[in-house]
Amino acid sequence: MIGLASDQIISEMAYKGWDMELLKFQIDSKEMEAFEGMTILQAAEKAGINIPTLCHHRDFIPTGACRVCVVELEGSERLVGSCHTPVAKGMALHTRSPKVLKARKATIELLLAAHTGPCVMDFRAAQCDLHKIASDLEVGPPRFHIKKPRFYPIEDASPYIRRDLSKCILCSRCISACNELAGKGVFGAGYRAFDSKVIVDNDIPLNKEVCKDCYLCVEYCPTTALSKAKNAGDKKRGKKMAAVLPQPRLQDTRCGNLLPMLKKAQSISRHVSAKFMAKTAESLNLSVSEVFGVTTFYSFLSTRPLGANVIRVCKNLPCYLKGSEIILKGIEEAIGIKPGEVTRDKKYSLELANCIGACDQAPAMLINQEVYGDLTPRKISKILKQF
C-alpha cells in the first residue's frame, strides 16, 4: 500500500485505451506497438520477451522495490524499472544488454548476501524465485558480504502459516496480498534501512489471533519466507475478498494527521506506546502494523520510553572533524550511559544523531529542541547543570 502512484494513471489510461493512439517503440530491436499507459514489462510480455521480476506481481500495484526488472533505455543514463515505467513513443529499450545484465546480477547477489543462507541444503529452495533467477543469470556465490545478514527466528506459533524471515527479500508482496486482496492488513513494513522488516502488528510473531487461514500471502511469496504450517489444513486456494477492500490510502487525506499525532504522543509520554498506536490505528482506520511501521521509520520517535531530556550528539563528518567523539565520551562519563540508553533516574537519554544542521558550530548537539554548539569537554558539565 505504500507504493501508490503511477498505476492509477496506467489504469485510468487503460480504461480510456480505445481513444488513445498506439505508441510505436522498440524492445530489443523489435518494433512494437502498445497503448499509452502500458508498462514496459507488459509490453515486453506481449512481445514474448521475458524480464525477470521478484517484487512485481500483476495482481498488485507495482512497488518498484527489488530492481531486478530494470532495463536499458537509450538516451537515459540510468536504467529504468520496467514494472512501473510506462512506455512512451520512440523509446528504444534493451532488456538484456551487458549493462542490464551486470546490474541485475549484482542486485541478485545483494539479495543473496543480505539474507541468511546458504539455501543449498534447504529442500525448499527449489520453490524460491530468487534462486531460480540466480541460476538463470548464472550468479555464483555473491561477491559482496554483509556484516550481519538478516536473521530472525522462525515463527511457527500460527497453526496456519510458518514465517521464516531470514529468507525474506523484502519484496512486500505479502503486504500487498493481505492489504489489497484479503483486505486484512495483517502485515506492514517496519523499521528502516537495512533493519527494514515485514512486521505483524507491533512486530509480534504471527499468531492465530491476527491471521486466519486465507493463505493468500503464502501464494504470493516468491521465496520460502512464508509457507503453510506443517499441520495446516488442505484448503487449496485463498478466497480473494476484494469486495471488502479498504479505501485506497491515496485518497484518504485523514492519514496526514498520523505523523503529527505520533509526534505529540512522543512529546507527552516520551515514547509512542503500543496502546497509543492501537488507538490511533483504530481512529484512522489503519492497521496497527501501518502505524508501527511509520513510528519506527523516524528516528525522533521511539517505542520505548526516553528520558526527560534527550541528548542527541551529532556524529557526522563536520562534527567528527571537530572532535565530536571526545564530546560524546565526555557526556557518557558525565551521565554514565552509552548511546541508546536511558539514565536510571530517567533524567537523560543519550542518542547519536545524524546531521542536526549546526555544522557551523561543530561539534554540536541537541538537548530536547535546543542546539548547543562549539562544544568542549569543559562546557558539557556546565550545560548539563542547567537540567
Partner 1 sequence: MQKRIVLKNCGLIDSKSIDSYLRRGGFAALEKAQKFMTPEQAIEEVSASGLLGRGGAGFPCGLKWKIAREQRSDEKYIICNADEGEVGTFKDRYILENDPFTLIEAIAISGWAIGAGKAFIYLRAEYHRLFDRLLNAINQAGRKGFLNHLDIELREGAGAYMCGEESGLMNSIEGLRGEARYKPPFPPQKGLWGKPTVINNVETLMNIPQIILNGSSWFKAMGTARSKGTKVFSVSGDVEKPGVYELELGSRLSELVCDLASAREIKMVQVGGACGRIIPVELIDTPLAYETVLGSGAVTVFNQTRDVIDVMHRNMKFLAEESCGRCTPCRDGSEAMLEILGRLARGEGAGEDIGALEDLSSVMTLSALCGLGQTAPMPVLDTLKYFRKEYESRVEQSIFLRTIG
Segment 6 to 65, residues that bind partner 1, using CB under 8 A? 6, 8-9, 62-65
Q: Does 321 bind partner 1 (CB under 8 A)?
A: yes
CB of 303 to partner 1, least distance (A): 13
Report the 10 Å Cβ neighbour count for 117: 18
DSSP character for 155? B
DSSP character for 224? S
Cell 533524567 belongs to residue? 347
Distance from C-alpha of 86 to C-alpha of 80, rounded to nearest angstrom: 10
Q: Does 382 bind partner 1 (CB under 8 A)?
A: no
Q: Does 86 bind partner 1 (CB under 8 A)?
A: yes
Distance from C-alpha of 332 to C-alpha of 326, rounded to nearest angstrom: 10
Of 76-84, 173-181, 227-235, 331-339: span binding partner 1 (CB under 8 A): 76-84
Among 2, 137, 204, 278, binds partner 1 (CB under 8 A): 2
CB-nearer residue toward partner 1: 30 or 320: 320
> What sections of the chain are H helices per DSSP?
6-15, 40-46, 98-114, 129-136, 173-176, 216-220, 258-269, 274-284, 288-297, 317-321, 324-335, 377-385
Residue 115's DSSP bridge partners are 150
Among 14, 101, 137, 255, binds partner 1 (CB under 8 A): 255
CB of 104 to partner 1, least distance (A): 8
Q: Does 342 bind partner 1 (CB under 8 A)?
A: no
- Nearest CA among 102, 96, 125, 97 for reference residue 112: 125
Contact, 147 vs 195, CB < 8 A? no
Question: Of residues 99-128, which lie at the interface with partner 1 (CB under 8 A)?
Answer: 99, 102-103, 106-107, 110-111, 113-114
Q: Does 369 bind partner 1 (CB under 8 A)?
A: yes
Of 121-129, 220-228, 338-346, 354-362: span binding partner 1 (CB under 8 A): 354-362
CB of 100 to partner 1, least distance (A): 9
Among 13, 125, 137, 301, binds partner 1 (CB under 8 A): 301
Among 168, 258, 306, 310, binds partner 1 (CB under 8 A): 258
Among 121, 123, 145, 237, binds partner 1 (CB under 8 A): 145
Sort strands 161-163 and 226-228 into parallel, antiparallel or unpaired: antiparallel
Among 263, 271, 279, 379, binds partner 1 (CB under 8 A): 263
Distance from C-alpha of 84 to C-alpha of 69, rounded to nearest angstrom: 10
Question: Of residues 176-215, which lie at the interface with partner 1 (CB under 8 A)?
Answer: 189, 191-196
CB-nearer residue toward partner 1: 3 or 305: 3
Strand, coil or helix: 154: coil
Contact, 353 vs 313, CB < 8 A? yes
The count of residues interacting with partner 1 (CB under 8 A) is: 85
- From the centroid of its chain, how far is CA 264? 25
CB-nearer residue toward partner 1: 36 or 158: 36
Among 353, 367, 380, 384, binds partner 1 (CB under 8 A): 353
CB of 33 to partner 1, least distance (A): 20
Of 27-35, 152-160, 213-221, 309-317: span binding partner 1 (CB under 8 A): 309-317
Strand, coil or helix: 182: coil
CB of 370 to partner 1, least distance (A): 6
**What DSSP assignment string belongs to 31-91?**
EEEEETT-BHHHHHHHTT-----SS--TTS-----S-TTEEEETT-SS-EETTTPBP-TT-
Among 11, 50, 135, 257, binds partner 1 (CB under 8 A): 257
